[in-house]
Amino acid sequence: MGAMTASPGRRVLLAAPRGYCAGVDRAVIAVEKALEQYGAPIYVRHEIVHNKYVVQTLEKKGAIFVERTEEVPPGHIVMFSAHGVAPVVHEEAERGRLATIDATCPLVTKVHKEAVRFAKEDYDILLIGHEGHEEVIGTSGEAPDHIQLVDGPADVAKVEVRDESKVVWLSQTTLSVDETMETVDALKEKFPQLISPPSDDICYATQNRQLAVKQMGAEAELVIVVGSRNSSNSKRLVEVAKLAGSREAYLVDFAAEIDEAWLEGVTTVGVTSGASVPEVLVEQVLEWLAERGYGDVEIVKAAEESITFSLPKELRRDLREEAATLVAERGGSGAGA
Ligand code: 10D
Ligand code: SF4
């Protein structure tokens, strides 16, 4: 390997923006703050964000990740992940005598509210998203009788609605912008009166990361996206890079997963990361590349981001006390702390 070098011609294009979005930042800090304020364990329903490193780091600090609300013992605190939950999950927590902290991203909550509003007006809601993804499970749960999932353009043929003059589309926040537009075009062809969401459901962070990777995909022969396999927005970055012209694009959790063979005949390497990825992991990838002659780093800037969200309001209350009271009033073996 040797020292860090910059071999002539070889360079790295580094996407900006990349990595943490405002919703992820808020959710990760919320777990850390809950651990500080209330002590371990803090249960988290579903991975707080879809990143292996984040989950492992929080586990070491005392977070316990579960898939089902029922796994949390009565009298404990449970946090809901940034991807959002259906109303039935709040009911499960209530039945389980749990104090809750909701780390759902406000931009996911916005889509939930749109779903509730259009369902109230008795629209058929076509929710564009990936089947089985946590976010669409949560959004669909707001109005299961009104919402049907459309998983890409190929799904349009099977869509049926009750009244063609009352149809709206909504979407998951982390989709490919271009593929979503293809799906919407196909839906509009079928239902010309289809209405669009009042504002973009695909969030600013998803859009900006795709814009940046598109720019560098046109120049880089190889694009390395840092992100986990279950991260929808990270996976979309790999697809967008390839469509933009990069010969190859790969998703890696850690620098150690990069294969030397990917570099064969490559002069320009693009690097970016998903919205759930801490910057330290990108730094390690840049070091790995520098050790192999790709030490020149040029930023490819597609947008400026300054948005931040305030922490979940529940962090301002004494939740240990609340959880203990729930158990004292309604029975069940409590947290004992
Ligand atoms: O899979 P994904 O892209 O929806 O989630 P990830 O946790 O990787 O990134 C943050 C995005 C969220 C919480 C959904 F908006
Ligand atoms: Fe929120 Fe967008 Fe980040 Fe999802 S990707 S957590 S919607 S800001």
For 47-89, how does the pLDDT look when each residue is reduced to its tens digit (9 = 90+)? 999 999 999 999 999 999 999 999 999 999 999 999 999 999 9
The predicted pLDDT at position 128 comes to: 99
Q: CA 279, 283, 284 angle in degrees (round to 5)? A: 120
The predicted pLDDT at position 7 comes to: 82
The predicted pLDDT at position 279 comes to: 99
pLDDT higher than 80, residue 1 = no
Average pLDDT over residues 96-109: 98
Lowest mean pLDDT among 140-144, 197-201, 237-241, 316-320: 316-320
- CA-nearest of 315, 311, 282 to 53 is 282
Q: How far is CA 255 from its chain centroid? A: 21
- The ligand minimizing its distance to the Cα of 25 is 2
Q: What percent of the chain has pLDDT above 70?
A: 97
Choosing from 24, 176, 237 the residue with most ligand 1 atoms within 8 A of its CB, the one to mutate for a pocket test is: 24
Nearest ligand 1 atom to the CA of 50 is 7
Nearest CA to ligand 2 atom 8: 23
For 276-333, how does the pLDDT look when each residue is reduced to its tens digit (9 = 90+)? 999 999 999 999 999 999 999 999 999 999 999 999 999 998 999 999 999 999 887 6
For 258-280, how does the pLDDT look when each residue is reduced to its tens digit (9 = 90+)? 999 999 999 999 999 999 999 99
For residues 63 and 68, give the distance between their C-alpha atoms in angstroms, rounded to a whole number. Answer: 15
The predicted pLDDT at position 335 comes to: 59
Ligand 2 centroid to 274 CA: how many Å? Answer: 10
291 is an active site residue? no
Q: Which of 135, 179, 189, 219 is catalytic?
A: 135
Mean pLDDT value across the chain:
96
Which residues line the pocket of ligand 1, CB cutoff 6 A? 23-24, 49-50, 82-83, 105, 108, 135, 173-174, 231-234, 274-276
How are beta strands 63-66 and 99-102 bridged, if at all? unpaired
- The ligand minimizing its distance to the Cα of 203 is 2
For residues 316 and 115, give the distance between their C-alpha atoms in angstroms, rounded to a whole number. Answer: 29
pLDDT higher than 80, residue 95 = yes
Which residues line the pocket of ligand 2, CB cutoff 6 A? 21-24, 82, 105, 107-108, 173-174, 203, 205-206, 233, 275
